[in-house]
Amino acid sequence: MAQTGQDGQTEQHFFKDPVQDRLMAVCMTLANELWVTRSRLMTLETLLAEKQLVSPDELATAGPSTDQQAALDNFADALIAALNDRQASRGAEADILKKFS
Amino acid sequence: MQEQDFLAGQAFLLAMKKRWTTGLYSQLQEKCHLQAAHNGQPLQLADIRTFLEPDPDYQIFAWLERHLQKMKYSGPYGLAPYHRERTEQLSAQLTAEGAAERLELADDFEQPAYYQAVDIHQQPGGVWSEAVSGLIYERGARTTTPMLGQEHRDLHDRFAELVLENVGQLPQRAAILDLGCGFGKSTRPFWELAPEAIITGVDLAAPCLQLAAAEAARAGRQNILFRQADARDTGCAPESQDLVTSTMLLHEMPGTGLRAMLAESFQLLKPGGWAVHLDFWLLRDAFDRFIFEGHSQRNNEPFMRALFDMDVKAEAEAVGFEAVELTAFAEDSNIDPESWPFWRFPWTVFAMQKPA
Ligand SMILES: C[S@@+](CC[C@H](N)C(=O)[O-])C[C@H]1O[C@@H](n2cnc3c(N)ncnc32)[C@H](O)[C@@H]1O
């Protein structure tokens, strides 16, 4: 769907293929989220260390538990799956109308 | 949206904008210089268009200019959603004891069609249509010139100082008029530097004027009035003002509006009075021109480009002004407008005098 202004205006484009404009927008939105998330994490880690609930060393050496690793693996799978160009449900074959008229 | 996420989200955009202002901009400028050296002559505007428009570095530069600003106002951590969510609690900032005496809003004020036709600076709804529009604009303006830091006050102070030094001796209770005063950022240094002056700020945007009046009231400033009026027809009496000024108003009006504003300021100045405006106009070369024509388009400021095409000196002289002078303005003591290597607005002072 085109990005629209209040009365349905299409966004300005700067690249040869307008799809690139949209991909850039997705990347920049994700980068913005990442910055916000990292900022929160830094705050949290600083507070944890200050309150001596967790030491910086522990944070540096702690790895994910088995369950956490499985969650990370699922995330990686989902990313790859999104790129694999496969339908996630059964689609109509090109000759379906010939088969079932 | 949580406060800390809003702050972090905006900090990200500012960090990107700073790199855009320095790295990306300078890279394009350097490319054009090299190309000119290669050609053995300066590039003309048409050459720069042909050279840069297909260039991926330029495309990314242009994309970022458009979208960092879009995200600043409308993104997930944008100024608009942040302020809209807090409309009720933020409204307190728009009032203060004594603000009402410093504020004059018109009933059923009809906004000019040109003003409603575009959301200036990509601020959704413009600076006028919602209760929090003035607060959104104020917050946004803190990072309009990323190289000047958060306060961005220097610029307005420096301009007011320059004006007051150059217009000669004003009467002690001089009447000063700030056209398109917004939320009063451009008015404040005048009321600070000329404490006895009788100051009027006019603007179309009620939510900005409310903020201006509230700030003046909080500071205890007397003899000040923020009035909702059109700079083309202010309602001020003929020959009532000693000094007329504006900051960043000229490029926000179409050419016909600018002519009408010049004529209006001429007639309401006392004989011998000065009009001094700060805006964007003197461009160093075709590269600047290309960059700012693009900015005009990308930042929803369509009349900026038209202003570059106007002969403002001739327009001012046509309504009767004399001693019309346009000079480059350094917004900071570190900046030499001729050689500054990073992106900056082409600040220009337009000074003109009504014959005595
Ligand atoms: C870029 S802002 C500058 C505000 C202020 N002078 C400052 O320096 O912060 C331009 C202002 O001009 C106002 N404006 C645009 N057209 C106007 C007009 N015809 N009459 C009065 N104000 C106008 C806008 O509402 C806006 O507040």
Look up tokens 């004891």; give the residue. Answer: B97
pLDDT at A7: 63
| B26-47 average pLDDT score | 96
**Position B152 pLDDT exceeds 70:** no
Burial B147-176 (b: 16+ CB within 10 A, else e): bbeeebeebbebbbebbbeebeebeeebbb
B229 CB contacts (<8 Å, ≥6 apart)? B106, B202, B203, B204, B235
Q: Which atom of ligand 1 is nearest to the CA of B232?
A: 19
- When pLDDT is cut at 50, 70 and 90, the band that residue A45 belongs to is very high
Check: CB of residue B122 under 8 Å from CB of residue B144.
Answer: no
- When pLDDT is cut at 50, 70 and 90, the band that residue A81 belongs to is confident
Tens digit of each residue's pLDDT (9 = 90 or more) over B61-92? 999 999 999 999 999 999 999 999 999 999 99
Tens digit of each residue's pLDDT (9 = 90 or more) over B160-211? 999 999 998 999 899 999 999 999 999 999 999 999 999 999 999 999 999 9
At the fourth CATH level, the homologous superfamily of domain B155-180+231-353 is Vaccinia Virus protein VP39 (3.40.50.150)
Give the one of A5, A21, A35 whose C-beta lies nearest to B8's C-beta: A35
Query: Whose alpha carbon is nearest atom 7 of ligand 1?
Result: B186
pLDDT at B236: 97
B160 CB contacts (<8 Å, ≥6 apart)? B186, B189, B190, B192, B193
Q: Indicate which of B5, B55, B63 best probes the interface with A, i.e. most A CBs within 10 Å of its own CB.
A: B63
- Give yes or no for A17 touching B (CB within 8 A): no
pLDDT at A79: 79
Check: CB of residue B259 under 8 Å from CB of residue B265.
Answer: no
Test A32 with B75 for CB contact under 8 angstroms: yes
pLDDT at A2: 35
Burial class (CB in 10 A: 0-12, 13-18, 19+), B193: middle
- When pLDDT is cut at 50, 70 and 90, the band that residue B347 belongs to is very high
CA–CA gap between residue B106 and residue B101 (Å, rounded): 14
Test B71 with A39 for CB contact under 8 angstroms: no
pLDDT at A85: 76
Task: Give contacts of A40 with chain B, Cβ < 8 Å.
Answer: 4-5, 8
Residues of B with CB under 8 A from a CB of A: 4-5, 8-9, 11-13, 15, 59-60, 62-63, 66-68, 71, 75-77, 119, 124, 297-298
Test A14 with B75 for CB contact under 8 angstroms: no
Q: Indicate which of B1, B5, B116 best probes the interface with A, i.e. most A CBs within 10 Å of its own CB.
A: B5
To the nearest whole Å, the CA of A22 is away from the closest chain B CA by 10
Note the ipTM here: 0.88
| B134-151 average pLDDT score | 81
Tell me how far the alpha carbon of residue B215 lies from the centroid of ligand 1, in angstroms: 17
pLDDT at A88: 75
Average pLDDT of chain B, as a whole number: 95
CA–CA gap between residue B325 and residue B197 (Å, rounded): 25
- Give the C-alpha distances (Å, rounded to integers) separating B37 from B42, B78, B240, B280, B283: 8, 43, 54, 28, 20
